[in-house]
């Protein structure tokens, strides 16, 4: 018998019929007019997948505060996509952070991704909370809950946050964030689904019942993404590195490989029961569009 491709097996399996996958998309606030044009192009294409929400990151040390606010407000005003604005505690007093959150509410932004942020000296240096600031994400979540009725997402780490001394400390921290009022966690990128499954076992064992949405990073540019992954503690397996060996000058093959790997990762997660995904888009739509077609979702 002819072997069906993965997607066909998935779509024809009655167990999966009618299961609409849920997507959320993460963007960063564009720096220049040209980048902004590309950003809106990507957002409008991905909007046709009817995402649960689009999130807009907050630059290191609050460096994009105004841009995050402007872009998130415009998405809220001009599209019907629910918008989530990221916020961090870095280098700011509680009052300053609270004012930004109140600004989100005034702009009609009802969702927040609440983060501590990375140390101001860069990843790998010691994190020093502002003396009058929120010390960590759990405190920030509790603070946001006092301000208004936001939908709050927090970060989770299938390979453990680099600063957590051990797994117990890491999972305890996730539990504190959920107990403080977060609605869900979104994971850091990971490339080996087994890391996610092992993490989910720990999450369940700790009695955490909030959804932990896998954060999927399509590999638009292997060099850039592997370097960023390394800096935030996400392991790039050898087999994955080998897939992109010598492809710097072969953009078409690079893109085909990236697309095949994204499909493989997402199908693996779907087959394990996952129905909601958060994509780190880097303001690009193509790989997610290709993936959604293979999965038999809306044509975009």
Ligand X SMILES: Cc1cc2nc3c(=O)[nH]c(=O)nc-3n(C[C@H](O)[C@H](O)[C@H](O)COP(=O)(O)OP(=O)(O)OC[C@H]3O[C@@H](n4cnc5c(N)ncnc54)[C@H](O)[C@@H]3O)c2cc1C
Q: Which of 136, 217, 259, 283 binds ligand X (CB under 6 A)?
A: 136
Asked whether 68 and 86 are in contact (CB, 8 A), the reply is yes
Residues present in the chain in total: 300
173 part of the interface to ligand X, by CB under 6 A? yes
Site string for ligand X, 28-57 (x = CB under 6 A): -----------------------------x
Integer Cα distance of 176 and 255 in angstroms: 40
Neighbour count for residue 162 (Cβ, 10 Å): 15
Q: For ligand X, which is the closer residue by CB, 160 or 220?
A: 160
- Binding flag, residue 116, ligand X (CB under 6 A): yes
Q: Taking the CA of residue 140 as centre, how many other CA atoms within 13 Å lie in the half-sphere pointing to its CB? A: 31
CA distance 222 to 91: 32
Buried b (16+ CB within 10 A) or exposed e, 121-135: eeeeeebebbeebbe
Q: Which stretch binds ligand X (CB under 6 A): 133-141, 192-200, 241-249, 265-273?
A: 133-141
Q: Which of 155, 200, 258, 261 binds ligand X (CB under 6 A)?
A: 155
Among 169, 241, 253, 260, binds ligand X (CB under 6 A): 169
CB atoms within 10 A of CB 44: 14
Q: Which of 179, 198, 182 is nearest to 190 (CA)?
A: 198
26 is catalytic: yes
220 binds ligand X (CB under 6 A): no
Our finding on whether 262 is near ligand X (CB under 6 A) is no
Binding of ligand X by 158 (CB under 6 A): no
Examine residue 167 and tell whether it contacts ligand X (CB under 6 A).
no
Q: 108: which DSSP letter?
A: T
What SS3 state is found at 276?
strand
Nearer to ligand X, 134 or 244 (CB): 134
Phi-psi region of 24 (alpha: psi -120 to 50; beta: other; left: phi over 0): beta
Segment interacting with ligand X (CB under 6 A) among 12-20, 71-79, 109-117, 254-262: 109-117
Q: Which two tokens stand for residue 273?
A: 């029961």
Q: Does 83 bind ligand X (CB under 6 A)?
A: no
Find the binder of ligand X among 23, 39, 58, 199 (CB under 6 A).
Answer: 58
Q: Are 214 and 274 in contact (CB under 8 A)?
A: yes
CB of 83 to ligand X, least distance (A): 14
Binding site for ligand X (CB under 6 A): 57-58, 60, 86, 88, 113, 115-118, 136-138, 155, 161, 163-164, 169-170, 173, 177, 186, 188, 215
- Catalytic residue annotation: 26
């Amino acid at each position: 018998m002819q072997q069906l491709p993965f997607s066909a097996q998935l779509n024809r399996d009655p167990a999966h019929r009618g299961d609409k996958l849920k997507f959320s998309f993460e963007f960063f606030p564009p720096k220049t007019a040209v980048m902004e044009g590309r950003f809106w192009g990507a957002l409008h294409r991905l909007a046709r997948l009817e995402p649960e929400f689009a999130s807009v990151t907050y630059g290191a040390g609050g460096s994009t505060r105004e841009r995050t606010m402007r872009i998130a407000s415009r998405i809220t005003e001009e599209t019907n996509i629910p918008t989530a604005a990221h916020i961090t505690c870095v280098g700011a007093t509680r009052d300053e952070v609270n004012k930004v959150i109140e600004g989100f509410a005034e702009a009609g932004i009802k969702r927040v991704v609440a983060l501590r942020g990375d140390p101001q000296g860069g990843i790998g240096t010691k994190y020093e909370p502002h003396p009058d600031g929120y010390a960590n994400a759990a405190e920030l979540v509790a603070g946001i809950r006092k301000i208004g009725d936001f939908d709050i997402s927090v970060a989770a780490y299938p390979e453990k946050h680099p600063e957590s001394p051990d797994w117990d400390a890491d999972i305890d921290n996730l539990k504190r964030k959920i107990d403080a009022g977060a609605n869900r966690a979104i994971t850091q990128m990971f490339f080996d689904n087994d890391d996610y499954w092992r993490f989910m076992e720990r999450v369940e064992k700790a009695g955490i019942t909030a959804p932990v949405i896998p954060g999927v990073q399509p590999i638009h540019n292997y060099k850039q993404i592997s370097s960023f992954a390394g800096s935030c503690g996400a392991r790039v397996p050898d087999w994955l590195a080998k897939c992109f060996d010598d492809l710097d000058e072969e953009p078409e093959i690079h893109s085909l490989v990236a697309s095949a790997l994204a499909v493989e990762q997402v199908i693996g997660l779907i087959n394990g029961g996952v129905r909601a995904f958060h994509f780190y888009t880097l303001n690009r739509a193509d790989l997610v569009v290709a993936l959604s077609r293979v999965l038999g979702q809306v044509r975009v």
